[in-house]
Structure 1
Amino acid sequence: MTLPVITDNLDYLLVGAWPDGPIGGLALTLILSGLSGLVSAVLGLIPGLGLAMSAGATCAALAVGLLRAVPIVLLIFRLYFLLPILFGLSVPEIGTLVAALSLVAGAYLSYGVAAGIESVGRGHWEAGLALGFGRWPTLRFIVLPRALRAMAPSFVNQWTALIKDTSLAYVIGVPELAFVAAQVNNRAMIHPAEISRFVGAVYGILCVSLDGLASRLARTRSVTVHGA
């Protein structure tokens, strides 16, 4: 890891051409995964509620199933190349990638949302209804806050997947970590193994750290449930 090919290009691998140009490298990977994680969390809640509640469950299942069946690369291509043709929209590369990753990740998260809601004991529903709340107010104010604790590990695990999936941005030229590493390799030409090991180590550190966070959240959830 101390080879000159890494140390000489470390700034470019970490932040791309920034501050003299657009941000890239590891910094852009974290930005893309963070934005996609936030948007997918919101998108996952909507069909997840539909799956957990009887109203709209069939439509939610169909929409989620369709998005889960579409390869992310294909979805990126369709959003980037098809939207300008159909609607005359100029779609930025980063916006395209965040939209594609968020749609697919949100579809996967929706089942975690539904499972989190279903994990809340029936007594909480009965307590809300006994207090005069309707079904949806009970879900919003009583059930959902508790269910979010159960959902947290799924959200973190999905963020782990998003960090790796950002490498698909190369198909539309977004200069995230894998893309700038390929550029460095094309310039150096003689150290592909060292560059690949560096990139793999960076992804490994990020993913292992998030896996540890997910495990910790799961243990916290288990202690809370058994201690309740």
Structure 2
Amino acid sequence: METSTVMPDFLASNLDYLLWGNLAHGAPGGLLLSLLMSVAAGIVASALGLAGGTALVMGGPRLRSVLKTLVVLLRAIPVLMLIFWCYFLLPILFGIDIPGVLTVIAALAIINAAYLSQSVQSGIEAIGRGQWGAGLSLGLTRWQTLRHIVLPQALRIMLPSFINQWITLIKDTSLAYVVGVAEFTFVATQVNNREQVYPLQIFAFVGLGYLLVCGGLELLGRRWERRWRYGAA
């Protein structure tokens, strides 16, 4: 009974900080920062994954061999380890101070691009050879056939894999706390350390936040699938 009366006031007093951190002072944090990192890393990972998967199909033997080795290595590295590497190595390599947020975005983009490149490769290879032959018989080059005929069909096959990987990426932003980035889990831990009264409620709220975001993305992905399936614009 006491918890039910205190909980609304407790959430109200910490809700702004949990959702967007010190945004009023120009430092976004909390759930907002997690979403911003997810969007940035997702865009970069999708672009790199599309390019890498296409190269795995269209590239020469040497390029494909190098890319396959790189993908295997990246998939074998824990995300947490890659975040540490980017955080400590990128400033040394470039000789400048790189914000922790950018190093986390770089790490998430790189490792998710490795997974997406294999999804792209599988999607392209799933299209029958007849589609390639039809494009070539129309006078299109191999790259033109890929762009105008094969890739649009392959994207429909790839979409579920992309959605799953984006959801994984959103959840992996919680690992940014290890380098002091004030994402959702980090600010929740700060609130919990300050209050030391409601750990269950605080982290249940964090879980609910991730559930709503990831669930919303999954529903959006299903809607895209239905639109493509029935040829809606």
- Tell me if TM exceeds 0.5: yes
Which of residues 52, 56, 81 in structure 2 aligns to 1:51? 56
Q: Which runs of 5+ in 1 are unaligned?
A: none
The 10-residue stretch of structure 1 (121-130 or 181-190) with the greater mean CA deviation from structure 2: 121-130
CA distance in 1, matches of 2:33, 2:18: 10
Give SS of 1:91's match.
coil
CA distance in 2, matches of 1:108, 1:69: 11
1:177-204 deviations in Å (ceiling 9; x for gaps): 1111111111101111110111011111
CA distance in 1, matches of 2:120, 2:96: 32
* Matched AA of 1:85: I
Alignment of 1:63-74 (within 5 A): 63-74=70-81
CA distance in 1, matches of 2:92, 2:168: 30
Give SS of 1:196's match.
helix
Alignment of 1:171-182 (within 5 A): 171-182=178-189
> 2:209 maps to what in 1?
202
> 2:109 maps to what in 1?
102
CA distance in 2, matches of 1:86, 1:117: 35
CA distance in 2, matches of 1:199, 1:63: 34
Q: Shift of the alpha carbon at 1:139? A: 1.2
Closer, same or farther in 2 for the Cα pair 1:218/1:119, shift >3 Å?
farther
Which of residues 41, 45, 51 in structure 2 aligns to 1:40? 45
> 1:164 maps to what in 2?
171
Whether 1:25 aligns to 2:48 is no
> 2:139 maps to what in 1?
132
CA distance in 2, matches of 1:49, 1:21: 40
Say if 2:46 and 2:113, in contact at 8 Å, map to a contact too.
Answer: yes
Which of residues 183, 192, 195 in structure 2 aligns to 1:185? 192
CA distance in 2, matches of 1:163, 1:68: 17
Aligned residues: CA RMSD: 1.9
Give SS of 1:133's match.
coil
1:12-49 deviations in Å (ceiling 9; x for gaps): 11110111240111111111101111000011012211
* Matched AA of 2:120: V
Q: Which runs of 5+ in 2 are unaligned?
A: none
CA distance in 2, matches of 1:153, 1:83: 32
Which of residues 8, 11, 14 in structure 1 aligns to 2:16? 11
Whether 1:212 aligns to 2:204 is no
> 2:160 maps to what in 1?
153
Say if 1:157 and 1:210, in contact at 8 Å, map to a contact too.
Answer: no
The 10-residue stretch of structure 1 (154-163 or 133-142) with the greater mean CA deviation from structure 2: 133-142
1:54-90 deviations in Å (ceiling 9; x for gaps): 6232222111111111111111111111233344232
* Matched AA of 1:128: G
Q: Shift of the alpha carbon at 1:150? A: 2.0
TM-score computed with the length of structure 1 as normaliser: 0.90
Closer, same or farther in 2 for the Cα pair 1:34/1:108, shift >3 Å?
same
CA distance in 2, matches of 1:180, 1:188: 12
> 1:116 maps to what in 2?
123
CA distance in 2, matches of 1:54, 1:198: 47
CA distance in 1, matches of 2:32, 2:93: 33
Name the % identity: 50
